[in-house]
Chain A
Amino acid sequence: MKVTVDSTKCQGHNRCYAMAPGLFKVDEFGYATPRGDGTVPPDLKEKARLAVENCPERAIEVTED
């Protein structure tokens, strides 16, 4: 599973980072990017799905391998 953030949609709400700091990082403006290449470790899969569901800008997607 991989997680991506659409930087044209992200507005820096910080919801994904607050929920799953192991998967996302944010810059000083609050804009989020995936950590590393976005690969989701098995124990964070549920968090990745939650991040998708809670992003108010619908900027996050997960793709299954």
Chain B
Amino acid sequence: MAEPIKDWTTDYDIFDAGYKKNPFPIWDEIRGKCPVAHTERWGGSFMPTRYEDLFNIARDIQHFSSRNVLVTDFEAPPEDADYVAPTDEDLAQYNVGAPPITSDPPVHTWARKLLLPPFSVTAVAKWEQETRELCASLVDGFLANGTADGAADYAQQIPPRVIASMLGIPSSMAAEFTEWVRGFLELGLTDPVVRQQSAINIFGYLNQTIQERKANLREDDLISYLLTSEVDGEPVPEGHVLGTCFLILVAGIDTTWSSIGSAIWHLAQHPEDRARLIAEPDLMMSAVEELLRAYSPVTMARYVAEDTEYAGCPMSEGSKVLMNFPAANRDPAVFENPDQVILDRAKNPHIAFGVGIHRCAGSNLARMEMKVSIEEWLKRIPDFKLSDPDNVTWAGGQVRGPRKMPVSWPS
């Protein structure tokens, strides 16, 4: 058992069960008392909670590097763990990072230019119909039961299949993807063995797929796009293609299903919002932004690249900074009634997708998946509720969203 938390401003634990379930009052407390909190837990980190501080730190790429975006580091897994050491071949294979999220300029600049076009609004629109059919078929599969797990049976099923399609991989891989990504980003954050083995699984699978695709290039998938793209007249290095595919898989699954799940969780408890969305479909665009603001899933990390001071807080080289974008999006200094979900909120400059040069490359895809998944659910299940509100389980830490969430409706 972890030691009880003495003071959230000096001893926070983002993996605390209470924090995962309901972090909002904790953020308010930190913001009011000591807006840049610190902890020694999990290797130590700083955690800004005010909008203005997140905005400033995210844009200061000179002091705050993205070379390492996970809060926990594991130099060596514990010796007593049930652990099979990776071979040198394994290690060489996955020592390619996840560009551009783990890149600083100058690599970041071209890596991002390479990645953005297939995730533009126009490019993403091509996947909307397929996503709609997927969502419809998922709901149709459990509609007659009058009950389902909104997280496991619905939210979690959508992004892995959309990403598989975009990569040109059969959707039958969705279950493996889900397991590997959770192993890397959810369970793996506090368990080095699970994290390393999940990474090896993902890199191994993607590397094999890339080798096969090289021999059989296609027209319309992301792997072929990356393999045939050039940077300064040269093909994109293969290690880079692998790292970027890893990013697309890891960042495109857990995050988006967390957002979809949180949206379903909210709507299950707010009949008035369901009724509004059904009566006023044009509200969907601002509603998606508002749900992203109120239930932002992602807290990335930064790495202090050189000794600096922020807001009177000395930070030495090598320190971690937890970019608590979700807390920024509940800051009353920027958002009126921040704890209230207002579907037509007019002023909403939320930073759920980050701010600055690392703005989420997949933001247009995430928005499309959220919009379509909410629409298709409400079309078939306009009236529903949480079956057991107190026993919804939440993943948290760096990606927050419901993982077990039974809901029911009149069937």
Contact = CB atoms under 8 A, between A and B. Distances in A.
Contacts of A56: 349-351, 353, 355, 359
**Residue in A17, A53, A56 with the greatest tally of chain B CB atoms within 10 Å:** A56
Contact of B116 (A30, A53, A54): A30
A57 interface: yes
Given A29-B113, A50-B346, A54-B349, A17 B355 contact: no
Contacts of B289: 15, 54
A27 B191 CA distance: 42
A58 B349 CA distance: 9
Interface in A1-25: 11-15, 17-19
A50 B347 CA distance: 7
A26 interface: yes
Contact of A55 (B113, B120, B349, B353): B349
A19 to B, nearest CB: 8
Interface in B94-122: 113, 116-117, 120-122
Contacts of B350: 56
A44 to B, nearest CB: 15
A12 B355 contact: no
Interface residues of A, number: 19
Contacts of A18: 121, 285
A28 interface: yes
A30 B121 contact: yes
Nearest to B346: A50
A58 B58 CA distance: 14
A32 to B, nearest CB: 11
A14 B121 CA distance: 8
A28 to B, nearest CB: 4
Interface string A21-64: 00000101110000000000000000000100111111000000
A12 B117 contact: no
Contacts of B359: 11-13, 56
Contacts of B285: 18-19
B349 A29 contact: no
Interface string B321-354: 0000000000000000000000000111111010
A11 B357 contact: yes
Contacts of B190: none
Contacts of A13: 353, 359, 363
Contacts of A26: 120-121
B364 interface: yes
B356 interface: yes
B346 A29 contact: no
B356 A11 contact: yes
Nearest to B117: A28
A11 B120 contact: no
A54 B293 CA distance: 12
Contact of A54 (B113, B347, B357, B363): B347
Nearest to A10: B359
Contacts of B351: 56
Contacts of B349: 15, 53-56, 58
A53 B355 CA distance: 15
10 contacts: A11-B357, A13-B363, A14-B121, A14-B364, A26-B120, A28-B117, A28-B122, A29-B113, A56-B355, A56-B359
Interface of B: 113, 116-117, 120-123, 285, 289, 346-351, 353, 355-357, 359, 363-364
Interface of A: 11-15, 17-19, 26, 28-30, 50, 53-58
Closest 8 CB pairs of A and B: A11-B359, A29-B116, A28-B117, A53-B347, A56-B349, A56-B351, A56-B355, A54-B349
